[in-house]
């Protein structure tokens, strides 16, 4: 059990590093820094010697080697591979401990993530694949955090069924906002609107939903985007509008979470609320400061942690069990009502 706790703790921290490196790779336009997969120009590392560079550029004449971008991409792949090995260790040790279901899900998800990483390159940064890769990384972090909580003692408290049911629509709203953020980034639409609160004057007349949410199949490369400016502005505006909806929904959820009167859930309420405020501030700064790299990476990372904490709060809501005292009190009340 101690080994599993250590492995899952390390995996959570490692997946955070992978998310940070993935955001850095995407935001430095290094997603095609290596035009093949899983290696780089046919090598297991970035070509360094002159002879290797010449061979690399002969193999991919349309994609000249940019060492900085190639290293960004390969370091991300090395860390992602390390995470895969950690999850394999979780599966092997979990099988021994009869903790099999979630480690199997994690193993399947990390394999799918590897496939998405390959398709990101082979499909030349297709926005659907890039967005799916982002969501998959966030899902891995959240499920690893849930597995961490599975190693802890089961909480004992009384939670209303309404509170448990409320979690699911809130999760869907937050996932929708993250997907919109991923779609905005994947289509290079982050700077399509540089004024607050929504966009430049006349934005409503330029909305183009058909193009903004089209799959745009058939292009040789999606690097730097293929959408028109109006379509990108539409994506950006929808990300901002849904951000307002998400903020209201999450605040309502946090208020309900606080009202449960449980210390741990109140701590989660405060933590998620703080992450929400930071995320709003980072989003505003992205616009006001024209997407500085550190700020944009932080915006991505805080979103991942907000989702992780939300999922963990939902897991604790559903995992909790009533205390013996609470059950006996309920039985006594029912008996008294029957006698009356």
Q: Which residues pair with 43 in a beta bridge?
A: 40
Contact criterion met (CB below 8 Å) for 48 and 30: no
With a CB cutoff of 8 Å and minimum separation 6, the contacts of 119 are 126, 129
Length of the chain: 340
With a CB cutoff of 8 Å and minimum separation 6, the contacts of 218 are none
Identify the helix (H) or strand (E) that includes residue 268: helix 263-288
Contact criterion met (CB below 8 Å) for 155 and 320: yes
Q: Helix (H, G, I), strand (E, B), or coil: what is residue 101?
A: helix
Q: Helix (H, G, I), strand (E, B), or coil: what is residue 156?
A: strand
Q: What is residue 100's DSSP assignment?
A: -
Contact criterion met (CB below 8 Å) for 287 and 196: yes
Structure tokens at 136: 């998959």
Is 223 marked active-site? no
The burial of 68, by beta-carbon neighbours within 10 Å (0-12 exposed, 13-18 middle, 19 or more buried), is given as exposed
Contact criterion met (CB below 8 Å) for 118 and 35: no
Q: Which of 54, 66, 73, 223 is catalytic?
A: 73
User: Which are the catalytic amino acids?
Assistant: 73
């Amino acid at each position: 059990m101690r080994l599993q706790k250590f492995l899952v703790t390390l995996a959570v921290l490692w997946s955070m590093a992978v998310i940070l490196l993935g955001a850095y790779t995407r935001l430095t336009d290094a997603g095609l820094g290596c035009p093949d997969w899983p290696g780089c120009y046919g090598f297991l590392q970035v070509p360094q010697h002159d002879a290797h560079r010449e061979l690399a550029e002969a193999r991919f004449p349309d994609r000249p080697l940019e060492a900085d971008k190639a290293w960004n991409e390969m370091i991300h792949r090395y860390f992602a591979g390390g995470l895969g090995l950690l999850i394999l260790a979780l599966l092997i040790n979990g099988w021994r401990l009869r903790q099999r279901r979630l480690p199997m899900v994690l193993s399947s998800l990390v394999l799918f993530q590897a496939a998405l990483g390959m398709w990101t390159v082979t499909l030349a940064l297709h926005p659907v694949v890039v967005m799916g890769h982002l969501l998959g990384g966030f899902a891995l972090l959240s499920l690893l955090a849930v597995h961490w909580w599975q190693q802890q003692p089961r909480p004992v408290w009384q939670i209303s069924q309404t509170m448990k049911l409320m979690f699911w629509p809130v999760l869907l709203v937050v996932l929708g906002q993250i997907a919109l953020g991923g779609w905005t980034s994947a289509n290079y639409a982050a700077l399509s609107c540089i004024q607050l609160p929504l966009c430049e004057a006349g934005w409503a007349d330029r909305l183009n939903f058909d193009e903004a949410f089209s799959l745009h199949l058939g292009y040789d490369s999606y690097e730097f985007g293929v959408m028109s400016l109006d379509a990108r502005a539409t994506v950006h505006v929808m990300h901002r509008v849904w951000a307002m909806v998400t903020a209201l929904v999450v605040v309502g959820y946090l208020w309900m979470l606080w009202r449960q009167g449980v210390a741990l859930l109140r701590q989660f309420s405060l933590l998620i609320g703080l992450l929400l405020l930071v995320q709003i501030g980072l989003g505003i700064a992205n616009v006001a400061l024209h997407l500085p790299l550190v700020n944009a990476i932080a915006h991505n990372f805080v979103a991942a942690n907000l989702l992780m904490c939300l999922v963990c709060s939902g897991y604790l809501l559903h995992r909790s069990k009533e205390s013996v005292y609470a059950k006996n009190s309920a039985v006594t009340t029912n008996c008294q009502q029957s006698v009356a």
